[in-house]
Amino acid sequence: MRIGFIGLGIMGKHMAKNLLKHGHTLTVYDILPECVAALTAAGASAAESAKEAAAAGDIIITMLPNGPEVKEAVMGANGVLEGAKPGSLLIDMSSIAPLAAKEIGAACAQKGIKMLDAPVSGGEPKAMDGTLSIMVGGEESVFESAKALLLCMGASAVLCGDLGAGNTTKLANQIIVALNIAAVSEAFMLSTRAGVDPNKVFDAIKGGLAGSTVMNAKIPMITEGNFKPGFKVDLHIKDLNNAIDTGHSVGSPLPLTAQVMEMLQYLTAHGMGQNDHSALAAYYEALTGEEIRN
């Protein structure tokens, strides 16, 4: 299948490489030439613009930081809508506000282009091994036509509802992840301050009701003091901003989300915005003056 792929950052570069491994033909574009070069070295062709990438594909995938970037890549000058053929499919795999996804979808429909919003969860490790969880919004028939392609990048792809439902589901996911990391950090700081080895605590509780994929992924990073980004603090702030805005628009209270948002904002204010979101533990370390370490 011929695919135009736009956005080759931490996640997108691995997702694109997995499509190449499955035998698909990719034309790729990113604003950073070095990102494009890494993909051409893996077998992709380079485009000079989002328009050119879109013109080369029957399916166009965007994987960008937020709604404004997706709107610019799709609806802006030299964007997807200038190059895509009627009948082609745009799959936006970025994490953006649901209303933005619907706005982009309406612009696509005017040009005869179908769209799915299909944000992902799993971070860089699962992007690398092709086991992302993919949450999809759009028409069922369009989803079914694209499902096999999505499963080249993910272990699961679930249709959650109409266009925008994928990003609503992703916002729910990001709330749960952020609150889970904060809870894990708070609990493990308690054990550390009480003189109990955090590794023993982890071994004791990971198989019980408190166990989670988040804890399994983040506690080893926290106890090693390794905050190399798989998913950056600043990106999680972006997602929680979208969640809070969406919550306000539908009348859904998000008091815990707002509290963790302030913790993430503290990290950004203290130079940790580019760290992994497991650096929420550093917020508690700053409060106590003690580190959660092996």
The residues annotated as belonging to the active site are 170
176 vs 70, 95, 121, 125, 150, CA distance in Å?
A: 25, 15, 12, 19, 24
CA distance 154 to 135: 10
Look up residue 199 and give its two tokens: 């590794």
- The CA distances from residue 225 to 263, 269, 270, 277, in Å, are 18, 19, 16, 12
* Backbone phi, psi, residue 162, to 5°: -70, 175
* Bridge partner residues of 136 (DSSP): 159
HEC readout, 215-279: HHHHHHHHHHCCCCCCCEHHHHHHHHHHHHHHHHHHCCCCHHHHHHHHHHHHHHHCCCCCCEHHH
Distance CA 107, CA 67 (A): 14
